[in-house]
Amino acid sequence: MNMGVIIPGFILGFLGWFFLRYVIFGFYTVDQNERAVKTRFGRAVRLGKGTTLDDPIAESLNEKDKERYIYPLVQVIKPGGPYFRWPWEKVHKISVATETINMALDLETPTANHNGTELDAVTKDQLNIGLSGQIRYQPSERNLYAYLFGVKNPVVHVMGYFIAILRQRIASFESQENLLEVEENDVELDAGLMGGVSINDLRKNLNEINTFMEQECASAAARYGVDLDASLITGIDPPQEVESALAAINTAHNEVSSDISLAKAQADQTIVQSKRAVEIETLRAQAEVEPLNSLAEQLALIKKNGPEALQAYLRNVRLSLFTKAENIILEVEK
């Protein structure tokens, strides 16, 4: 066998394999719902020396967190292609589509939280409740380094962060409506009556709680590279053993509130009627006084023209009265 023929054939085979493996298959594309980050020898391709602290994404972090969560800014490959990568480069693609997850789901322990169906929490009045709902999230395109390389499982971190804030909010929640009502009325009532039942306040203010959670979790993008699109808490339920007691409390609370509202309405009606009565009597008095004021002004003008004019006026008034009288009694001096 001729070695001169074998070696060129081996080289040609290697070159063909290299061309097919790293040239033909070195081209790639990025779908519309994807973003990609390229690494060279294991190091992500970066945008100079910039970090997330130079990006508006860090505005939601406090000063302590800014010292902890510092990630480099990386080049993000947009949808399109074909793109090319060298053999020493690797492309990391991720989907940036918005995903929905049950907020009670524990990705590390699926059997936790009643098999991922209900999240336990404690209210300010020590009532154990169950929460149900969803979280919408997506990877943050402005902090893909944290999502791909900085955090081992960013979704797990975000879920834990979200649940910790939610439980703290549930434990300290107090309806703003009740606080305003106390300030405006300035009436000392029973604290349980005015404050209501905590679970009722939570149910009535679900939108407020969801908005609060979105604001508090805005830093998740800078922390873990995950944007929380929305939190949708849909259910707040007490334990079955206290459901009937809670219903009785709600009934009593509604009855007392109805009685208070009725008493306030009656008091307001009485006040309005009293104001109208005062206005009517005032108008009547003004109607009686007005002719007298006009007569006094008229007599004052007549008096200015001399005593004869006043005597003539009085005589004309007497004659007018005489024409209307049926009988006249005159006093005769003896």
Tens of pLDDT, residues 289-325: 887 787 777 777 777 777 677 777 777 777 777 777 7
182, pLDDT greater than 50? no
> What percent of the chain is modeled with pLDDT above 90?
17
**What is the average pLDDT across 136-163?**
90
pLDDT tens for 196-208 read 456 777 888 888 8
pTM, full prediction:
0.62
The pLDDT of residue 145:
93
Question: Higher model confidence: residue 48 or residue 238?
Answer: 48
Candidates 266, 155, 245, 6; CA nearest to 147 is 155
Cβ-contact 132, 104 below 8 angstroms? yes
- CA separation for the pair 97, 227 (Å, rounded): 11
Q: Cα separation of 149 and 44, whole Å?
A: 9
**C-beta contacts of 59-66 below 8 A and 24+ residues apart:** 60/218, 60/219, 60/221, 60/222, 61/219, 61/222, 61/223, 65/219, 65/222, 65/223
Range scoring the smallest mean pLDDT among 5-19, 33-47, 87-101, 110-124: 5-19
Residue 58 has pLDDT above 80, yes or no: yes
Cα 148 from Cα 73, distance rounded (Å): 12
Q: Are 172 and 122 in contact (CB under 8 A)?
A: no
25-34, 135-144, 286-295, 319-328: least confidently modelled range: 319-328
Across 7-11, 67-71, 129-133, 270-274, least confident range: 7-11
Find the distance separating the first CA and the last CA of the chain, reported in whole Å.
Answer: 182
Mean pLDDT in the chain? 80
Mean pLDDT on 182-187: 47
- The reported pLDDT for the residue numbered 95 is 92
CB-count burial class (<10 Å; 0-12, 13-18, 19+) for 36: buried
pLDDT of residue 239: 66
pLDDT band, residue 243 (cuts 50/70/90): low
Q: In angstroms, rounded to a whole number, what is the distance separating the alpha carbons of residues 150 and 148?
A: 6
pLDDT score of 240: 65
Place of tokens 């009436």: 187
Crossing angle of helices 307-324 and 243-304, in 10° steps, is 110
Q: Is the pLDDT of residue 179 over 60?
A: no
As a whole number, mean pLDDT of residues 90-101 equals: 91
Least confident range of 65-74, 225-234, 241-250: 241-250
Q: Tell me the C-alpha to C-alpha distance, in Å, between residue 233 and each of 45, 134, 212, 219.
A: 39, 6, 12, 20
Q: What is the mean pLDDT of residues 107-129?
A: 86
- Report the pLDDT value the prediction gives residue 199, as an integer from 0 to 100: 75
Is the confidence at residue 275, as pLDDT, over 70?
Answer: yes
